[in-house]
Amino acid sequence: MPPKKPDPGPKKVKASAADKTFGMKNKKGGAAQRQIKQIQQATASAKTPEEKKKAAEKEAREKEKVAGEAAKREALELFNPVNTQKVAFGVDPKTVLCGFFKRGLCDKGRKCKFSHDVEVERRTAKRSLYTDTRDGEEQEEDGEGGGEGGEAGRGEKEGGMEDWTEEQLRGVVMSKHGNPKTTTDKVCKFFVEAVENQ
């Protein structure tokens, strides 16, 4: 009896769509083009059993992940209810952190009317550049000088401008506008940054 032929190694890889359609691409007929498309679709959808198994496992993992996330959301909703936020009239809602986002439940994204920036909550109210927040001692030192300037200073502390005399008003105007202009139109970038961070 003759010896058996040796086992050929792994089976040859199936011919790709390019190999099967070799020479057909030059044919310009509609029937030939349809046949080429059909062959390409068939080779694209044809998978080995291993590939099909891997794809099924991947889909199962994705389904489990989605189910796990849904369970977490449901548990959070049950045990940690989030109250709907209300903002006072005139307050921009983008300056308020979204309560749902804070707990990881907001699905609206950019469409949400509240802010999703965590830094918003950390920021404090910005200081007014037009009010003097220094101690009262420094203001008293400024007002000690005699003459019209001192009277104007006392007038400011006591009440509004409506109670001032004409002399006091003129003294204040001269003290404000009488000095030569020493500033420029350029604004220091460090000053702008400091104002924004306060």
Domain boundaries, the chain: 17-46, 83-128
Q: How confident is the model at residue 111 (pLDDT cuts 50, 70, 90)?
A: confident
Whether residue 26 has pLDDT greater than 50: yes
pLDDT tens for each residue of 43-94: 777 777 788 888 899 999 999 999 999 998 888 777 766 677 777 787 887 8
Which pTM does this prediction carry?
0.26
Are 105 and 70 in contact by the 8 Å Cβ rule? The answer is: no
Are 144 and 150 in contact by the 8 Å Cβ rule? The answer is: yes
What confidence score (pLDDT) does residue 65 get?
95
pLDDT tens for each residue of 125-171: 666 777 777 765 555 555 544 444 444 444 444 557 777 888 888 88
What confidence score (pLDDT) does residue 67 get?
94
Q: How confident is the model at residue 100 (pLDDT cuts 50, 70, 90)?
A: confident
More confident residue, 85 or 16: 85
Q: How confident is the model at residue 192 (pLDDT cuts 50, 70, 90)?
A: confident
Are 30 and 53 in contact by the 8 Å Cβ rule? The answer is: no
The first and second tokens of residue 104, run together, are: 């990881």
DSSP string over 8-60: P-SPPPPPPHHHHTTTTTT---HHHHHHHHHHHHHHHH---HHHHHHHHHHHH
